[in-house]
A and B are shown apart, each in its own frame.
Chain A
Amino acid sequence: MATNQSIEVTKKRSNPIIGFLNSKKVVPYIFVSPFIISFLILTLYPAIRGVIMSFQSVLPGQVEFIGLTNYERVFNPTFYKALTNTTIYVILTVTILTILPIILAVILDSRFVKLKTLFRASLFMPALASTIVAGMIFRLMFGETDTAAANQILNWLGMGSVEWRFNAWSGMFLMVMLCVWRWLGVNILYFLAALQNVPSELYEAADIDGASLFQKFWYVTLPFLKPVTIFVVTISIINGFRMFEESFVFWEAGSPGNIGLTVVGYIYQQGIQQNDMGFGAAIGVILMLIIFVISFIQLILTGAFKRGDA
């Protein structure tokens, strides 16, 4: 510490400006300045601006305060439809993208499976395609005609063709499938990484006690996967509420009966396409509140777990 100070002193003497810029008090702030600037301009300011906008009617060259009118308008059947769709989508994707990767990761990690690298890489491959390209493949495979792949399989099984993009249930199925297909491999990698932390002695001890495969999974493996599970669930929930592309790629801006409308899709529709930015901002504020409440609940739930672990 003493040497550092003396070096700083000598430097300051040699050239005050360089000495100042190079002092350990100033350097860190110069290093983090890009973050400070971008945080203020590109996050904090828009966040505040968004809240203000939600109380305004924003038209080109004409902005006026209209109080809570935007919020009163938000609670309409279309918004409820978007919120319901998004919530169902979140519940389905979170459930599938947690349970399926755990099972597959445990199997992949077991000593029974050969060709681990090949399996892992091929499950990971879909994550490399953009949602648009992946969605295009799905759209062409789940086409309305009898000649599209999905209907060919259904017909082959003796079932009738489905107009995939025109029913509420099949529309949801398409969006969830698309998401699951792209993210399954990534989530498997998370769980595989966590599985490396399970001490093998625990399995040996369980073997000596005569535990079955399922008992070992339930009592030894699962508790070790808890932290990564919480993490996967958290990002899946947030990503689920942010969902837009999976819907856009199937229906562009509008789906029949809004079967594919999501909350972010509604923001896009109202704020950008209808140019009603104040209304769009109000939907955004409500979405933010929903995400905060969910994160808060989750924090309480998982915080309680953590206290138990520590």
Chain B
Amino acid sequence: MKKQQSSTLKWVTNIGMAIVCLTALFPVLMLLLSSFRPSSELMRTGISLKFDWSLLNLDNYIYIFSQAGEYWTWYMNSLIISAVTIVLSLFFSAMVGYALAVYDFKGKNLFFTFVVFILMVPFEILMLPLFQMMINFQLVNSYLGVILPMVVAPIAVFFFRQYALGLPVQLMDAARIDGATEYGIYFKIMLPLMAPSLGAMAILQGLGSWNNFLWPLIVLRSNDMFTLPIGLATLLTPYGNNYDVLIAGSVMTVIPIIILFIFFQRYFVAGLTVGGVKG
């Protein structure tokens, strides 16, 4: 009887999970499918379950590759901003997190308290004064204006500290005896050991920056400076005639992330569930 019960359970849970997963994937599949529909029809009907399959074609993609210049401007803006954000925030945050983990110094606990405290303060509360600062520094509508507030990410500092706590400190003493400077020890010995955490944070910061919306929306003012989310959002009007760029462009924004996801799945999971290190 026990065996029979567990085989029923097996069927129920597997089929149930399959249904849940299909529901989760359904919107993605619909997006993909709809990107091959004529944009004028898509604008009229929305994403439909029943539509004329014979009308599917590549026109939206052909248009976006041949004519939608502003889309690729947004794409470049997003790429540049994300790349610079990743490099700078990893460089600085790793340094800070490392120091908080391996050194003993006055104020260490205070600094760490600040890190945790900033984690709790929503960025949205600071955005108006920050915007005013950007106006004063004349950084409105510039890459730097978008990037600057993201350069030292408290969540990354926190993550790097937790990771660096597990580094072999004996290596540092050995290197010191060999005459290495503290900076040499960090860049040549310890930083390479932190590679997995760098991977996870690169994904976290990259995804966050690639998808960031509110702050770029405030800082970036002209069409040629927009990032992808801001640019695509401007196309989301009921009167728009740009649904070809909107739908095919949306698919194209997800593709680089999905490719990265397939290759670096482990880092993605670590990066997106970074808070888990606490529990």
Contacts and interface: CB of A to CB of B under 8 A. Distances in A.
Interface stretch (A74-82, A90-98, A148-156): A148-156
B128 A35 contact: no
27 contacts: A31-B99, A31-B103, A35-B114, A39-B114, A43-B126, A50-B125, A53-B129, A122-B21, A128-B257, A131-B211, A133-B253, A137-B28, A140-B34, A142-B46, A143-B46, A145-B44, A147-B45, A147-B48, A147-B50, A189-B269, A194-B276, A244-B214, A248-B233, A272-B131, A287-B124, A288-B122, A291-B120
A268 interface: yes
A183 B175 CA distance: 44
A300 interface: no
B28 A35 contact: no
Q: Is the interface of B mostly helix, strand, loop or mixed?
A: helix
A113 interface: yes
Interface of A: 3-4, 7, 18, 22, 24-25, 27-29, 31-32, 34-36, 38-39, 42-43, 45-47, 49-50, 53, 58, 104, 107-108, 110, 112-115, 118-119, 121-143, 145, 147-149, 152-153, 181, 184-186, 189-190, 193-194, 227-228, 231, 235, 238, 241-242, 244-245, 248-249, 252, 264, 267-268, 271-272, 277, 280-281, 284-285, 287-288, 291, 295
Interface in B172-202: 173, 176-177, 181-183, 186
B275 A190 contact: yes
Contact of B6 (A35, A104, A112): A112
Given A123-B20, A235-B275, 6 more contacts: A104-B20, A130-B210, A130-B229, A190-B276, A227-B279, A287-B122
B72 interface: no
Contacts of B128: 50, 53, 267, 271-272, 277, 280-281, 284
Contact of B13 (A112, A141, A287, A295): A112
B111 interface: yes
B122 A291 contact: yes
A125 B24 contact: yes
A132 B124 contact: no
B1 interface: no
Interface residues of B, number: 93
Interface stretch (B53-61, B62-70, B146-154): B146-154
A7 B173 CA distance: 11
A281 B127 CA distance: 9
Given A133-B253, A189-B269, A34 B48 contact: no
B121 A43 contact: yes
Nearest to B7: A112
Given A35-B96, A145-B45, A136 B125 contact: no
The 7 closest A-B pairs by CB, nearest first: A143-B46, A31-B99, A148-B46, A130-B211, A147-B45, A46-B129, A28-B103
Contacts of B114: 35, 39
B144 interface: no
A24 B103 contact: yes
